[in-house]
């Protein structure tokens, strides 16, 4: 396990990324879209390393949305294969660096084999503390909130809580991100300016950064650019400027 780096002021504690643009990256090179996904794994590895070495404590990567099941069968199949292979290949480095892995999303939608791989990877890294790597797979913000609401409704029905006890904090306890602070910085690559059903609840006060760079080309320099932009933001959380002590929120 490597020594925890010091998080310089202005570095976000929790970074959430929509890794978008793999298909367009491949198409621009007359390659099949799946080649873009393969290259995307390399970009993800580089960003994980860069975040860990810069003192980011939580990195959430959107790898597959609940709506991505609508893609052609062959592309979905390749993505599943890539997930299985990537977990196997990347696990030793994550273990060695002290990175904890957590998967969020509707895991039951995946094959038994993939579910087992995810559970095993979580188990093997559960004591790691350098950084938490959260991978959102078959994830949708609406799925997350709906499931939390259903759990609360069930608790009310069984008498273990009253409707008055349904607070934002109580709902948060049922989200898949339970225990994690909300993202400080959201990055979307690939040029689209939307959140595409990512962490809808958790992004309430997150600083948004959009990059035109296609995900397979996203480098540490691009990440640093996003961090620099974040460091210059003033987060007010509803207050007025005069009420705030520091400049940026990290
Ligand atoms: C993001 O890249 C990866 C996944 C959604 C799995 P895309 O595959 O969406 O790439 P574009 O947006 O079509 O270029
Ligand atoms: C969002 O990208 C999901 C992931 C990157 C995993 P999409 O490419 O699926 O989003 P839309 O369809 O352009 O909104
Ligand atoms: Mg896309």
89's tokens: 């290949």
Q: How far apart are CA 6 and CA 139, in angstroms?
A: 31
Confidence at residue 184, expressed as pLDDT on a 0 to 100 scale:
98
36's tokens: 């873009």
pLDDT digits (tens, 9 = 90+) for 174-230: 999 999 999 999 999 999 999 999 999 999 999 999 999 999 999 999 999 999 999
138 is in an annotated binding site: no
- Partnered with residue 207 across adjacent β-strands are 185
pLDDT digits (tens, 9 = 90+) for 48-76: 999 999 999 999 999 999 999 999 999 99
75 is in an annotated binding site: no
| Per-domain boundaries in the chain | 14-232
Asked whether 170 and 161 are in contact (CB, 8 A), the reply is yes
User: From the CA of 63, which ligand is nearest?
Assistant: 2
If we measure between CA atoms, which residue out of 177, 116, 110 comes closest to residue 141?
177
Q: Which residues surround ligand 3, an ion (CB under 5 A)?
A: 20
Atom 8 in ligand 2: residue holding the nearest Cα: 20
A 10 A CB-CB count for 4 gives 13
Asked whether 187 and 5 are in contact (CB, 8 A), the reply is no
Q: What angle do CA 8, 14, 18 make, to 5 degrees?
A: 120
- Mean of the per-residue pLDDT values of the chain: 96
Annotated catalytic residue 127: no
Confidence at residue 63, expressed as pLDDT on a 0 to 100 scale:
98
For the chain, the C-alpha Rg in angstroms (whole number) is: 19
The architecture (CATH level 2) of 14-232 comes to: 3-Layer(aba) Sandwich (3.40)
Confidence at residue 250, expressed as pLDDT on a 0 to 100 scale:
47
Q: How far apart are CA 219 and CA 50, in angstroms?
A: 9
pTM of the model: 0.96
**Ligand 1, pocket residues at CB < 6 Å:** 19-24, 64, 68, 79, 190
> Which atom of ligand 2 lies at the shortest distance from residue 63's CA?
6
Annotated catalytic residue 20: yes
Q: Is the pLDDT of residue 247 over 80?
A: no
196 is in an annotated binding site: yes
Q: What angle do CA 186, 192, 197 make, to 5 degrees?
A: 60
Q: Is the pLDDT of residue 5 over 90?
A: no
């Amino acid at each position: 396990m490597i020594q925890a780096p010091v998080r310089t002021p202005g570095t976000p504690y929790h970074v959430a990324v929509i890794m978008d643009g793999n298909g367009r990256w491949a198409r621009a090179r007359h390659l099949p879209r799946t080649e873009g996904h393969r290259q995307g794994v390399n970009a993800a590895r580089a960003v994980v390393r860069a975040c860990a070495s810069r003192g980011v404590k939580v990195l959430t990567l959107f790898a597959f949305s609940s709506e991505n099941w609508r893609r052609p069968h062959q592309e979905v199949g390749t993505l599943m294969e890539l997930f299985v292979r990537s977990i196997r290949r990347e696990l030793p480095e994550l273990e060695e660096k002290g990175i904890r892995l957590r998967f969020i999303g509707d895991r039951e939608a995946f094959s038994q084999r993939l579910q087992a791989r995810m559970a095993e990877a979580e188990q093997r890294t559960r004591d790691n503390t350098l950084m938490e790597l959260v991978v959102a797979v078959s994830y949708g913000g609406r799925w997350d909130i709906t499931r939390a609401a259903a759990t609360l409704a069930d608790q009310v029905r069984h008498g273990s809580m009253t409707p008055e006890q349904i607070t934002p904090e109580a709902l948060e306890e049922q989200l898949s991100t339970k225990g994690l602070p909300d993202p400080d910085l959201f990055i979307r690559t690939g040029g689209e300016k939307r959140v595409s059903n990512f962490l809808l609840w958790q992004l309430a006060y997150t600083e948004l950064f959009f990059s035109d760079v296609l995900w397979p080309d996203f480098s540490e320099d691009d990440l640093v650019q996003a961090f620099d932009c974040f460091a210059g933001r003033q987060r007010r959380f509803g207050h007025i400027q005069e009420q705030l002590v520091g400049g940026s929120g990290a």
